Amino acid sequence: AFHKQPIEIDLTVCCVGELNTTVRGGIHWPVIYGIGVNVKTGEIFPATFPDKGPDQALRSARHLTGAQQ
């Protein structure tokens, strides 16, 4: 996991605006929802996610741990 690495890892990506926007039926949609990175080669590729909705169990987990919002 990243938090156990001996070096600092800074991952910053911003892809907004018309470069990452397509129009479907008059509605603006992102072309790419997320990316993956091959840690051996540094190759960046579009990631696919089978579930597009919020993961309620994961989003609610902080309530079970006593963490603040």
Please report, for the chain, the start and end positions of each structural domain, with discontinuous segments joined by +: 2-65
Q: What integer pLDDT is reported at residue 6 of this predicted model? A: 81
Q: What is the pLDDT of residues 6-55, one digit of tens each?
A: 887 676 766 677 878 899 999 998 888 788 888 888 888 888 877 766 67
Q: What integer pLDDT is reported at residue 60 of this predicted model? A: 76
Q: What integer pLDDT is reported at residue 23 of this predicted model? A: 93
What distance lies between CA 5 and its chain's CA centroid?
Answer: 20
Q: What integer pLDDT is reported at residue 25 of this predicted model? A: 95
Q: What integer pLDDT is reported at residue 30 of this predicted model? A: 85
Give the C-alpha distances (Å, rounded to integers) separating 5 from 1, 2, 9, 11, 58: 7, 5, 8, 14, 24
- Residue pair 58/51 in contact by the 8 Å Cβ criterion: no
